[in-house]
Amino acid sequence: MRFSLGLSSLVLPAAAAALLWTHATPASACGGTFCDAGPQGMPVDQTGENILFAFDGSAVEVHIQIAYDPNTDASKFSWVIPVQSLPEFYVGSEILFDNVLNGTRPFYGVNSTNEICSLDDNNQNGSGAPDAGGTSGATGSASDGDTGGGNPGPSVVYQGTVGAFDITVLSSGSTQELLDWFDANGYGYDDAAIPIIDSYLAENNLFAAFKLVPAEKPVVHPVVLRYEGVEPCVPIRLTQVAAVEDMDIRVFFLGGARAIPTNYRHVLINPLMIDWPNFAANYKEVITAAVDAFAAEGNAFVTEYAGTSSVISQNGIYNDAWNSDAFVGLPAVDVVNNLIGQGIMDCWDNYGDLVCELRHPLLQGLLDEFLPVPQGIAPFDFYNCESCFEAMIDLDAWGDGSAFAAAYEERIVGAGKRALSLLQSKPYVTRMYTTISPHEMGEDPIFAETSSLGDIPSQNIAQRLIRCDGHAEYTLPDGREVFVPDNGPWPVFPDEMPYEEETQQAMVVGAPQVLNNNTETIDRLLLEWNTANRPSYDTGAESGGDGEGAGCGCVSTDSGGGLALSLGLLGFAGLGLRRRRR
């Protein structure tokens, strides 16, 4: 069985939701979603919804990070998941997503050094020398029956509550029957999706309908679905109904080996098109152009990281000290002290200001629901001294603590324990990214594991040498060297320069099939650029090497942490010390 997933909605006003389903036929059918705005732009950023798959023998887990606008009417936040069979549902871990995102985040930086120059080495071509003593370093941006009216309707095959969500799984042979149920139960839909719903009913899919449990401040969290199958799929077919241009899709895979797209192409970007001085500020633009290029045709992914999962921190995901039983029968005035004792919260006096730290993203929501701060009292004042406000505590909300304990166990303790166990059992993680537009959403990407491909680092550091004549030489991670006049902006290469270095069809076994390779063109255009832009006195090699007059002696130090400390002109010229040119 194939599992399918998409991030948008049948039902939202302004919030993003998820539309998922499973499918057992070829890749032509796998689903999608509706988005009002889609994920945000990502110059090596991490905004937008994220999907994490975990390979586990004959089963797959999919973790969905839910995007929810707290200004949205919670009663209108709902989503529908077509599923071919009934999955198991669990609360997911927000901290797992945070740690996976941060551990695999692409980083583009520049490691800068300055040549040490004598007094007469400056202004060789009339440009100013680099700023004396200017320190430069590796900086960078780390580039979701019964119709309710008593009328006959779909058969309810499952009904339950998972964390913040009420879930109803429906079986029906009629699209109209489903639509009537959606209408009666507050689920909106787009008429353009009706024929696609028809197709999923024809494939005998069930439909899982999600709604937020009524609450003043919903505690929204990731959702986990576990199902039998070995082939994860991101459904995008339905997404075209309301998708934006160049919508971001970011997927992660935890398993034993690297993941690849099997029916989409895989692209290696041309690093010359990255704006290195601005730390890949044009990252999304480059990815979009690369996956839209010849042979990729808008249906391709870029691998941002592939390697050991040890880069993902385990901190905060789960703690053996977390104990939900401790809250059953506990007086409300002792709750915060108990949370502090479990290490999930701390409060202290910071030079007269009372401060509290909540060390789990769902804890505040649980406190708001079961131990609300009395009206007119500052939250940290209350948490630092519950007994001071004992007469004002809402004892009805707290009860005997058993409701809080159950929610704490499900959403924090249990979710954390499952997430940590998953992470510890999977030695490899792959992160892939693409952008895609509605007209390109005719096929749903499917993924598999392969042991035939190597790792892909997430850290991308270029080396910049700021010369005594004010020009700069960049050495990119792949060894290519780029001359940048006057240490100015990154070159604007001719239109002939491609955004993609290579487009591949990845194979589960063996090397990828090369569909298009632009290395020769890239190298030729780079040589032409360097040759045309070097000053006349620079007669060194194409890289600006050690030819007579190519520059001056260079001394640099590197701190080893991605920061290069420039020694250029730090008092040496003022002392009259001179160096021979090479």
- C-alpha 107/C-alpha 301 separation (Å) is 18
Residues 161, 115: one domain? no
For residue 449, being part of any structural domain is answered with no
Q: Degrees (nearest 5) of the Cα angle 426, 432, 438?
A: 135
Are 193 and 247 found together in one domain?
A: yes
The phi, psi pair for 381, rounded to 5°, reads -60, -40
Q: What share of the chain is helix, strand, coil (3-state, %, to 5)?
A: 25, 30, 45
Determine the pLDDT at residue 119: 58
In this structure, is residue 83 part of a structural domain? yes
Using alpha carbons, list the distances in angstroms from residue 256 to 202, 309, 449, 556.
35, 10, 8, 41
Task: Clarify whether residues 348 and 362 are in a common domain.
Answer: yes
Instruction: Check whether residue 229 and residue 246 sit in a common domain.
Output: yes
Q: What is the DSSP letter of 453?
A: S
**Does residue 334 belong to any structural domain of this protein?**
yes
How far is the C-alpha of 238 from the C-alpha of 31, rounded, in Å? Answer: 5
Residue 291 lies in a domain: no
Distance CA 164, CA 186 (A): 17
Residue 405 lies inside a defined structural domain of this protein = no
8 A C-beta contact, residue 225 and residue 53: no
User: What pLDDT, on the 0 to 100 scale, is given for residue 18?
Assistant: 34
- Helix/strand/coil (H, E, C) string of 141-183? ECCCCECCCCCECCEEEEEEEECCEEEEEEECCCHHHHHHHHH
In whole angstroms, what is the distance from residue 347 CA to residue 383 CA?
7
Determine the pLDDT at residue 124: 52
Picking from 271, 293, 237, 284, the residue whose alpha carbon sits closest to that of residue 456 is: 271
Reference 493, options 540, 466, 535, 533; nearest CA is 533
Does residue 261 lie in a domain region?
Answer: no
Is the domain of 85 the same as that of 126?
no
Do 393 and 469 fall into the same domain? no
* Best CA proximity match to 449, nearest among 304, 307, 253: 253
* Within a domain: 535: yes
Q: Whats the size of the chain, residue-wise?
A: 582
483: helix, coil or strand? strand
Q: How far apart are CA 545 and CA 426, in angstroms?
A: 45
Among candidates 461, 429, 456, which has minimal Cα distance to 143? 461
Q: Which helix (H) or strand (E) segment is 53 a member of? A: strand 51-56
Same domain, 157 and 225: yes
Q: Are residues 72 and 194 in the same domain?
A: yes
Look-up: residue for tokens 């090479």? 582
Q: Give bridge partners of residue 204 from the DSSP assignment.
A: none
For residue 545, give the amino acid letter.
Answer: G
Residue 189's pLDDT is what? 81
Mean pLDDT by 10 residues, the chain (582 residues): 36 32 33 29 47 88 82 78 84 95 93 80 47 39 43 85 92 94 88 85 87 83 86 74 84 96 98 95 96 97 98 97 98 97 94 92 94 95 94 96 97 97 97 93 89 96 95 98 97 97 97 98 98 84 40 38 30 31 28
Query: How many angstroms separate the CA atoms of 193 and 84, rounded?
Result: 18
Kindly state the percentage of the chain with pLDDT values over 90.
58
For the chain, the domain total comes to 3
For residue 86, what are the CA distances in angstroms to 22, 64, 208, 226, 289? 10, 17, 9, 9, 39
What is the extent of the structural domain holding 560?
Answer: 108-141+461-497+518-575
Strands (E) across 361-479 are located at: 428-436, 447-450, 459-466, 472-475
Same-domain status, 337 and 366? yes
Residues 228 and 208 in one domain: yes
**What are the angstrom distances between the C-alpha of 198 and each of 176, 177, 192, 370?**
9, 11, 11, 43
Based on the domain organization, do 165 and 186 belong to the same domain?
yes
For tokens 């999608």, the residue is: 32
Same domain, 167 and 132: no
Give CA–CA dist 213/128, Å, rounded. Answer: 65
- The answer to whether 186 touches 74, Cβ cutoff 8 Å, is no
| Three-state SS sequence of 107-134 | EEEEEEEEECCCHHHCCCCCCCCCCCCC
Inside any domain, residue 558? yes
State both tokens at 417: 């324990």
Per the DSSP assignment, residues forming a β-bridge with 107 are 459
Integer Cα distance of 231 and 58 in angstroms: 10
